[in-house]
Structure 1
Amino acid sequence: MEEVRFGDNYRDLCVESGVNAGFQFEFFCERCGDSWRTQFVPYRSGQASGWLGKVGSVVGGILGGAGEALEGLAESGWGKARDAAFRSALEQAKIHFHRCARCFQYVCDRCWNREKGLCFNCAPDARVEVEAARAEGEVYAAGEKAAQEGIRRGKKMEVREERQLVCPQCGTETKGAAFCPECGTRLAVKARCPRCSAEIPSGVKFCPQCGQKVGG
């Protein structure tokens, strides 16, 4: 039952056979993801069979056969030894993790609200939430202020005048300039009356709509 309860937040790092055989488990906080790892506990039977296997591969004969026999014994005892090591690891993990009574997740000390007896997801720190709300409010207010400034600037922009945004000669983006920044081609920008914004035909001195002087 214990293994099932920790099924979502541990990793089995055990090695069954070979010179590095042993038991080790890594547990994770289910809120922040920080991990804690048990100390490595050697599995002597597995290590012994690993060493005999290495020696046997070199000298052969009796040692090689002994290595195979010892490996068989190590494999037969692995299951019980691993279960015992895991139970010990669970007892150690309980010191480092807390099980939230509301969401049933295991969390580390930093994610545990000791005053409430719950994780910070279920019982957030009021002081932290206040500061976060204040920062969020500042960002929101600054965004509104910036939007108003943008509206103010936008009202001063000339939006009726049509501009060529791409040079017909070389295809460069012009961003509304009178001349192409790449090849210098003069771009077609229609003249408009400063008083009524009517389009002014080339060569005229007065606006045909309101009579405003537009030429020299």
Structure 2
Amino acid sequence: MSEVVPFTDNIRDLSNRDGSQFEFRCERCGNGYRSAFQRDVVQTGQTIARGVGRLLGGSLGNLGYAAESLLDRSTNSSGKDRAMRQAVAEIAPRFQQCRGCGSWVCVDVCWNGEVGQCARCSPVVTEELAQLQAEARRRQLRERLDTVDMVGGLPLAQQAQPRCHGCGAQSTGGKFCAECGSPLALTKACRECTAENASSARFCAECGSPFG
């Protein structure tokens, strides 16, 4: 019976035709570790054989291509199993599996060694306290800011006009555009009846008085 190969679901195969390499990622923070690249000695020999074949020609030229048929790079090959087994043994000390949620997490950042669970299931006390303190500060700042008058004498009833309808320049407030002098108000009051009209109106819609 062949030896069982351990595996996890946080692994990515980075192997290529020259050898094998695997990347393991923390399922909480996403930090990753790559195993050392394991060069394929058969492929290395094949590359050398091809180079010699190109120089000498003839039957030697077929040595490298014949070696290609001896390589098995499929997922279920013994060579791939051996390479993965070595990679798991190399990277395993950097990870722990949480018995609370089952996630594989990195020891450096996401493992709470005092409890024996990941920092998601059992947050580190000092880190959790710092996070709660930051949230409390934000909440208290909002509450205190609500009591401060931030608008002063700004005419709140007047419709805001972000851009001048005359030249399109960005408005910074006020009654007239700082670029072209056009009025920024969307409406204007009639001098006769005080009715509000569109800023582009030439006559009052209520009493007919001209705007001049």
Q: Is 1:141 aligned to residue 140 of structure 2?
A: yes
* Structure 2: runs of 5 or more not aligned: 196-212
Quote the residue 1:212 is aligned against: none
Structure-2 separation of matches of 1:128 and 1:199: 62
SS at match of 2:24: strand
Paired residues for 1:179-194 under 5 Å? 179-185=176-182, 190=189
Report how far residue 23 of structure 1 moved. Answer: 2.0
Shift in CA distance, 46/148, structure 1 to aligned 2, threshold 3 Å:
same
Q: Which residue of 1 aligns with 2:62?
A: 65
Letter in 1 for 2:90: Q
AA aligned opposite 2:28: R
Match in the other structure for 1:122: 121
Provide the secondary structure at the position in 1 that maps to 2:72: helix
Distance 1:104 1:178, change over 3 A: closer
Verify the 8 A CA contact 2:5 2:81 in the aligned structure 1.
Answer: no
Q: What letter is aligned with 1:11?
A: R
Which secondary structure does the structure 2 equivalent of 1:137 belong to? helix
Question: Which SS does the other structure have where 1:36 is aligned?
Answer: strand
Instruction: Indicate the percent of aligned positions where both proteins have the same amino acid.
Output: 32
Whole-angstrom distance in 2 between the partners of 1:13 and 1:172 = 53
* Cα distance between partner residues in 2 of 1:43 and 1:99: 31
Corresponding pairs, count: 186
The structural deviation recorded for 1:172 is: 5.1
Asked if 1:98 is matched to 2:96, the reply is: yes
Distance (Å, rounded) in 2 between the aligned partners of 1:116 and 1:123: 7
* Aligned-pair CA distance for 1:50: 1.9
Distance of 2:29 and 2:160 partners within structure 1: 53
* Unmatched segments (≥5 aa) in structure 1: 193-197, 201-216
Alpha-carbon shift at residue 2 of structure 1 (Å): 4.7
Please give the alpha-carbon distance, in whole angstroms, between the structure 2 residues aligned to 1:113 and 1:155.
Answer: 51
Aligned to 1:35: 32
Instruction: Name the CA shift for 1:96/1:177 in 2 (closer, same or farther; >3 Å).
Output: closer
Q: Which has the larger radius of gyration?
A: 1
How far off is 1:82 after superposition?
1.6
**Length-normalised TM-score, structure 1:** 0.70
For residues 154 and 137 of structure 2, what CA distance do their matches in structure 1 show?
A: 29
2: CA distance between counterparts of 1:137 and 1:59? 77
1:164–1:174 contact (8 Å) kept in structure 2: no
**CA distance in structure 2 between the partners assigned to 1:92 and 1:69 by the alignment:** 33
TM-score normalised according to structure 2 size: 0.71
Please state how far the C-alpha of 1:43 moved relative to its aligned partner: 1.3
What displacement does 1:134 show?
A: 1.2
* CA distance 1:84–1:179, change in 2 (3 Å): closer
Q: Go from structure 1 to structure 2 and tell me whether the alpha carbon gap of 1:59 and 1:185 turns closer, same or farther (over 3 Å shift).
A: same
Output the aligned Cα RMSD. 3.4
Partner of residue 16, structure 2: 15
Residue 141 of structure 1, CA deviation: 1.0
**Counterpart-to-counterpart distance in 1, 2:81 and 2:170:** 69
- Output the amino acid matched with 2:11: Y
